[in-house]
Chain A
């Protein structure tokens, strides 16, 4: 998607501009899905025009609200059954390898029905800081 952070006219003395709202100029065309990285959310929050709720993000744009319903929290998911795969606590390279092996074992349990893709050759996806959302466009409504 494409977002524009609008600005006030430049201050005549300093030339400085201030944020003046937010506009969503483009939403996905081939899908109602949008992945929202935490980094982008934090950047847009700085304008004060994004509300974060338990199950959705609402962009209060100058043209009306655009709601992003959270369909998938950050984490690891099986491509075959959609199950969120468990995480071991803590950090560390050895733990990370163990997590990956547990995911591979989970996918293997699906046998011939296991779904894999070129991007996800092991049959699970891992997006640790991205929300997968369904877009509801309420602008003009």
Chain B
């Protein structure tokens, strides 16, 4: 489950995830980034504009710079949205994503999910939506983001 949702992404996150699931626009993808963060959750929630470059401009926030690291993209084929009328909630599950062969260097603490409307991987236009605690120590092996059975992202009634 997401550890925090940026304030300006509340409620909007599911809409943007659904854009990708709907393949509309066709080029839209979701992206996962790894970060080294010592800023507080309260600071992260309040980021304005909320693009990847705004996020990285926060003091004590830096994207992982390990050799071999690249952010991961997900398209419509990676997303399963379950609208559960029995429990009055919407669960989003993603296929597991892997950062392959990430060499030692930075030790990421967090992972973000972002919406890239044109699939261009441009930091100034890619919107950060949610943050997960994700603490890993790279050693050249693969780093797997295996989302929990309780959903990567859940929207409840109430």
Contact = CB atoms under 8 A, between A and B. Distances in A.
Contacts of B100: 100, 103, 120-122, 124-126
A131 B96 CA distance: 10
B85 A5 contact: yes
Contact of A34 (B23, B77, B97, B139): B77
A47 to B, nearest CB: 8
A35 B74 CA distance: 11
A12 interface: no
A43 B93 contact: yes
A126 B137 CA distance: 18
A126 B98 contact: yes
A28 interface: yes
B87 to A, nearest CB: 8
B146 A28 contact: no
Given A1-B80, A1-B81, A4-B85, A128 B101 contact: no
Contacts of A39: 93, 147-149, 151
A35 B141 contact: no
A121 B148 CA distance: 26
Contacts of A2: 18, 21, 80-83
B70 A119 contact: yes
Interface residues of B, number: 44
B97 to A, nearest CB: 8
B72 interface: yes
B144 interface: yes
A35 B85 contact: no
Contacts of A52: none
B101 A28 contact: no
B83 A31 contact: no
Nearest to B32: A119
A53 interface: no
10 contacts: A3-B82, A6-B86, A8-B86, A17-B88, A30-B23, A35-B78, A36-B95, A40-B82, A44-B82, A118-B121
